[in-house]
Amino acid sequence: MTETGKYSDPTAIAKKIHVPTYEEILDRIRSRYPRKAKTLYDKEMAALQRTHDVVISKTDFVKSLAALLDSLHPFYWRLIEIEFDRQRVHRAIKCVSKGRKMASRLFGKYRFLLMAAENKRELLRTGREARGRILSLFKKCRKDLDYLRDLVVFIQHLPAIDASMPTIIVAGAPSSGKSTLVRNATRAKPKVAVYPFTTTTIHIGHFVENDTKIQIIDTPGLLDRPFHEMNEIEKKAVAALKELDGIILFLVDVSPDAYLSVGRQFDLLVNIKGMAKGKPIYIAINKIDNPDVNSLEKAREIARDLLAKGYVEGVYETVTADKEKVYSLINDLANVLTSRVQSRELQL
Ligand SMILES: Nc1nc2c(ncn2[C@@H]2O[C@H](COP(=O)(O)OP(=O)(O)OP(=O)(O)O)[C@@H](O)[C@H]2O)c(=O)[nH]1
Ligand SMILES: [Mg+2]
């Protein structure tokens, strides 16, 4: 199975999924409650049938949601797990699925009991009991429905990555110029600002050149601290660095306004190397149009050393604010990616 086939676009699928609240299910049953029926038996039977039909159709979403969750790329799971508990999600799915199964069973049982009811009182009591028991199955899942509803809305807004497309993941400290690079290399327009932590989520742009199409991922800025100290925004960058296939472009800000010192930016690079699961890393020493001379010298020295040791695959110097320089950098990396894809294909 190809990666594309395996991981279809979850946002598009999630947009077709509607998770009702418990109240919505109740309202729907009430709005369709039979008003006219020839006999009390007909009325009770119709009410039972409607209750059953509505709960089953309103919870039909659980099948497509379970299938969607089963097929999610690990990158998406990692983003989801920043805000949702995976076990809780599975418990919620189970509550609804079990409710559906039990509802059908109760429906069969009470249909028979209604037929067998000997008088008006028994008919009314049996009908009420049947509907009550079916509804209570889903009343129990009330919070689960809310949880799944929030999850589906969250998935609807996830970034639409294509796991099979050659990818450059742009990473670095806050304010190092990541979004400026993505803006200048693609048509994506992530926000750029002088203050740190401008980017709060993953953004995707596409660089297209002749037959080559590359995905460029803008990530939130990272600090050189361990995972358990990171905030939710930083964890989104980690999700991309860990789970997406591709190469990492690490920007080092050598301007006098750099948010982290050069030393700390390279400490961050060591952290990233640990997350990268073997993905090639390229350094781009950035903002050389406005360098702090000491920072620039130090960055060059460390980067050269890392390259010599084979710790990183390449070192560039750039100005992300300069469209032409960005173009030439990305074009170069595009060639790296293309030859990487070709050598993989040869191996297969
Ligand atoms: N001098 C100079 N400034 C730049 C360059 N690239 C970006 N900047 C400036 O650096 C600041 C931060 O740029 P962003 O692109 O928002 O940086 P970022 O890495 O996306 O920042 P976060 O999203 O906060 O992590 C902005 O004021 C940019 O105008 C450059 O090549 N040279
Ligand atoms: Mg940014």
Residue stretches of the chain with pLDDT short of 50 = 1-5
Domain end: 156, 188, 206, which one? 156
Residues 197 and 277 in one domain: yes
340, 166 Cβ separation under 8 angstroms: yes
Does residue 80 contact residue 151 with C-beta atoms inside 8 Å? yes
Nearest CA to ligand 1 atom 11: 194
- CA distances (Å), 213 to each of 102, 160, 185, 242, 340, in order? 50, 15, 12, 22, 14
Q: What are phi and psi of 130, to 5 degrees?
A: -60, -50
Task: Kindly give the interhelix angle for 120-139 and 86-116, rounded to the nearest 10 degrees.
Answer: 170
Number of structural domains, the chain? Answer: 2
> Which among 121, 156, 191 is the end of a domain?
156
223 falls within a domain: yes
Q: How far is CA 173 from CA 30, 113, 271, 280, 324, in A?
A: 56, 68, 12, 18, 23
Which pLDDT does position 1 carry in this prediction? 33
Same domain, 139 and 185: no
**In angstroms, what is the span from residue 221 Cα to ligand 1's centroid?**
11
175/229 same-domain check = yes
Q: How far is CA 221 from CA 76, 139, 142, 296, in A?
A: 19, 43, 38, 20
Within this chain, do residues 104 and 220 fall inside the same structural domain, yes or no?
no
Q: Which CATH number covers residue 337? A: 3.40.50.300
How far apart CA 44 and CA 34 sit, in angstroms, is 9
Q: Which two tokens stand for residue 10?
A: 């979850």
Q: Are 338 and 212 in contact (CB under 8 A)?
A: yes
How long is the chain?
348
| Same domain assignment for residues 86 and 228 | no
DSSP output for 209-242: ETTEEEEEEE-----SS-GGG--HHHHHHHHHHH
Query: Cα-atom radius of gyration of the chain, to the nearest Å?
Result: 28
Q: How far is the CA of 197 from the centre of ligand 1 (A)?
A: 11
As for ligand 1, residues whose beta carbon falls within 6 Å of it are: 172, 174-180, 192-194, 196-199, 220-221, 255, 286-287, 289-290, 319-321
Closest ligand to C-alpha of residue 195 is 1
pLDDT at 167: 96
Q: Quick one: which atom of ligand 1 is closest to the CA of 200?
A: 23
224 and 288 together in one domain? yes
pLDDT at 343: 75
What's the gap between Cα 261 and its chain centre?
32
Edge-to-edge strand ranges of the sheet holding 281-286: 203-209, 212-218, 167-172, 247-253, 281-286, 314-317
Ligand 1 pocket: which of 178, 180, 257 to mutate (most atoms <8 Å of CB)? 180
Domain identity same for 122 and 198? no
pLDDT for the residue numbered 3: 42
Cα 121 to Cα 204: distance, rounded to the nearest angstrom? 65
Taking the centre of ligand 2 as the mean of its atom positions, its distance from the CA of residue 88, in whole angstroms, is 32
* Domain contains 229: yes
Domain that holds residue 280: 167-347
Residues 105 and 179 reside in one and the same domain: no
Q: Which of 135, 156, 177 is the last residue of a domain?
A: 156
Q: Is 162 within a domain?
A: no
Cα–ligand 1 centroid distance for 17 (angstroms): 38
